[in-house]
Amino acid sequence: MPPKKKTTEAAEPPAEPPAQPTGEEPSKDKKTAEAATLRSKPSSHPKYAVMVKEAFKALDSRKGVTPQAIRNYIRKTYPTVDVHRLTYLVSQALTKKLGSGELVRLENPKLPRAKKYRLAPKFKEAKHKSENADPNVQKEAKPHKEGAKKSGKEGTVDTTGIDI
């Protein structure tokens, strides 16, 4: 085996960085400046939670919608979306919506691992009392009907002889 050649770099001392004049701040690297401009740009698409909800409305299915169908819809509708992060961000949006009760996960006994989601049925929201209502005013009593149901214990006969 022939001997290794000596490198000239090892013999030379390292170059000193250029001295900066006092009073000036060091300039940022080009990479950090570009990254800052990328972060400050507003995205050309809505938030992923909004896009997922829109996908559910567009892909309305009785059997539910798979995450893959949601991703395909978002890719077609919003081509500026980052494809590499789409899977993660859609799954995060689905998890949050499941936790808040907006979505329901459908279970298929034949395919227990199949993930299908559907919008939750809307529940009746409790009516809030208006703030201007006077708390001292009593409500009018409703007249009772004469044929109202009686409790079940009053008309029953105890055959065991034990007092209830």
Q: Which residues contact 100 (CB under 8 A, 6 or more apart)?
A: none
Total tally of structural domains belonging to the chain:
1
- Poorest-confidence range of 54-63, 121-130, 131-140, 154-163? 121-130
pLDDT confidence of residue 87? 92
Which tokens is 31 given? 């990479």
Most confident of the ranges 36-40, 94-98, 122-126, 155-159: 94-98
How many of the other CB atoms lie within 10 Å of CB of 92?
A: 14
Taking residues 88-100, report their average pLDDT: 92
Question: Can you give the pLDDT at residue 124?
Answer: 41
Range of the domain at 80: 48-119
**Quick check: is 98 in a domain?**
yes
Q: Could you tell me if residue 57 is inside a domain?
A: yes
In a domain, 102, yes or no: yes
Q: Is the pLDDT of residue 163 over 80?
A: no
CATH number (domain holding residue 99)? 1.10.10.10
- At residue 158, the pLDDT reads 59
Q: Is residue 63 part of a domain?
A: yes
Q: Is residue 107 part of a domain?
A: yes
At a CB cut-off of 8 Å and minimum separation 6, what does 102 contact? 53, 119, 120
pTM of this structure: 0.49
